[in-house]
Structure 1
Amino acid sequence: MPLSAELAARARDVLAGRIEPVPAREAATVVLLRPGPEVYLLRRKATMAFAAGAYVFPGGSVDVRDTDQAVAWAGPSPAEWGEVFHAGERLARGLVCAAVRETFEESGVLLAGPGPDSVVADTTGEDWEADRLALIDRSLGFADFLARRGLVLRADLLKAWAHWITPEIESRRFDTRFFVAVLPAGQRTRDVGGEADQVVWERPSRTLERAREGEIFLMPPTYATLSELTAHDTVAGVLAERREITPIMPRAVEIEGEMRLVTS
Structure 2
Amino acid sequence: MTEFDAVDGADPAATVNGSAPAVAVNGADPVAADVPIRDAATVVLLRDSAHGVQTWLLTRVAQMAFAPQMTVFPGGRVDPTDSSIALVATEVAARFRCSELEARSLVGAAARETFEEAGVLLTSPPLHLGADRSEDVEAGRISFGDLLREHFVAVDESLLRPWARWVTPAGETRRYDTRFFVAAMPIGAHAEDLTTESSTASWVTARDAIAQFESGERLILPPTLATLHSIAAHDTVEQVLDAAAGRDLSPVRPAVTVDSDGMRVTLDDGTVYQVQAPPAAPPASV
Do both proteins adopt the same fold according to a TM-score greater than 0.5, normalized to the shorter chain? yes
Question: What is the distance in 1 between the residues matched to 2:34 and 2:63?
Answer: 23
Question: What is the distance in 2 between the residues matched to 1:41 and 1:155?
Answer: 22
Residue pair 1:10, 1:169 contacting (<8 A) in 2 also: no
Residue pair 2:93, 2:99 contacting (<8 A) in 1 also: yes
Q: Show CA shifts across 1:120-176 (max 9, x none).
A: 2x323xxxx332112112332221111112112111111110001123333333211
Question: What is the distance in 2 between the residues matched to 1:148 and 1:3?
Answer: 41
Question: What is the distance in 1 between the residues matched to 2:22 and 2:33?
Answer: 15
Q: Show CA shifts across 1:64-106 (max 9, x none).
A: 0111x141x3xxx323321211212211100001111100111
1:132 is aligned with what amino acid? S
Query: Which stretch has the larger CA shift, 177-186 or 166-175?
Result: 166-175
**Matching residue of 1:243:** 247
Equivalent residue for 2:74, pick from 58, 62, 85 = 58
Residue pair 2:168, 2:175 contacting (<8 A) in 1 also: yes
| Structure 1 residues 255 and 138, CA gap change in structure 2 (3 angstroms) | same
**Matching residue of 2:147:** 145
Equivalent residue for 1:82, pick from 93, 104, 111 = 93
Please state how far the C-alpha of 1:219 moved relative to its aligned partner. 1.1
Q: How many residues align?
A: 245
Q: Show CA shifts across 1:173-229 (max 9, x none).
A: 321100000111111111223211100111111101111111111110100000011
| Structure 1 residues 144 and 166, CA gap change in structure 2 (3 angstroms) | same
1:28 is aligned with what amino acid? A
**Matching residue of 1:181:** 183
Residue pair 1:81, 1:92 contacting (<8 A) in 2 also: yes
- 2:242 is the alignment partner of 1:231: no
Structure 1 spans left out of the alignment, 5+ residues? none
Query: Which stretch has the larger CA shift, 57-66 or 44-53?
Result: 44-53
Give identity over the alignment, percent: 38
TM-score, structure 1 normalization: 0.84
SS in structure 1 at match of 2:23:
helix
Residue pair 2:206, 2:231 contacting (<8 A) in 1 also: yes
Structure 2 spans left out of the alignment, 5+ residues? 1-12, 269-286
Please state how far the C-alpha of 1:3 moved relative to its aligned partner. 8.4
SS in structure 2 at match of 1:10:
coil
Residue pair 2:32, 2:172 contacting (<8 A) in 1 also: no
Larger fraction in helix = 1
Residue pair 1:28, 1:176 contacting (<8 A) in 2 also: yes
**Matching residue of 1:157:** 159
Residue pair 2:116, 2:195 contacting (<8 A) in 1 also: no
**Matching residue of 2:264:** 260
Backbone CA RMSD of aligned residues: 2.5
**Matching residue of 2:215:** 213
